Amino acid sequence: MNNPAVFIPVAVALLGLVYVVVTYNGLVNLRNLIRESWADVDTELKRRYDLVPNLVATVKGYAAYEKDVLERVVAARAKALASVGDTASQARDENELVDSLKGLFAVVERYPDLKASGQYLALQRELVNTEDRIQAARRFFNGNVRDYNNKVEMFPSSIIARVGGFRRHDFFEIAELERAAPSVA
């Protein structure tokens, strides 16, 4: 091993192998972080799904003839709850739920007694809290996706990603729910 003509190529090959292993393991780590952070997003979305029936029931007691709005919320919740596709399809279903909830809040504005109801206000506060938690989990998830996608797309790690079967991941982008506290005037 005293011959530099043998030592240098062996050292270069070892360094290349170490780079490949470290890069591959980094990609696996980021992919697992995405899975973990998606589970956090999913947990918060389920919190929202659990709140929606209570919110609908409370509004129904005050605004029984707003049946079409309430049915849209229930249908959108069911669709979002059943969504198990990729991130983009989940985002579409979540946006549909958010839009239907905005319609529900528009109905609430027409009923001052409902806006002043303690039960409705408690549900509204819990929904605001849940929306904040969803946004935090979504930001964490999207940060992990950004880091992963950078590694998948940047040279030279993109070569290892391509050979290892790593593909870009979609961000989870959903519309924000109007979260203004209802006026009690």
Distance CA 140, CA 129 (A): 17
What CATH number has the domain bearing residue 81? Answer: 1.20.1440.20
185 falls within a domain: no
Long-range contacts of 3-11 (CB under 8 A, 24+ apart): none
**H-helix or E-strand spanning residue 64:** none
Q: Are 51 and 185 a contacting pair, CB within 8 Å?
A: no
- Domain assignment present for 85: yes
Mean pLDDT for back-to-back runs of 10 residues, the chain (185 residues): 81 94 97 96 94 90 83 94 88 93 88 86 92 95 97 96 96 73 43
Residue 81: inside a domain = yes
**Is the residue at 182 inside a domain?**
no
Kind and range of the H or E element at 169?
A: none
pLDDT for the residue numbered 181: 45
Residue 90: inside a domain, yes or no?
yes
Q: Is residue 47 situated within a structural domain?
A: yes
| Structural domain that includes position 92 | 4-164
CA pair distance 27, 21, nearest whole angstrom: 10
**Considering the domain boundaries, does residue 26 fall inside one?**
yes
Q: Measured on CA atoms in the order 85, 91, 96, 100, is the torsion positive or negative?
A: positive
- Is 176 inside a domain boundary? no
Q: What is the number of domains present in the chain?
A: 1
Residue 178 has a pLDDT of 56
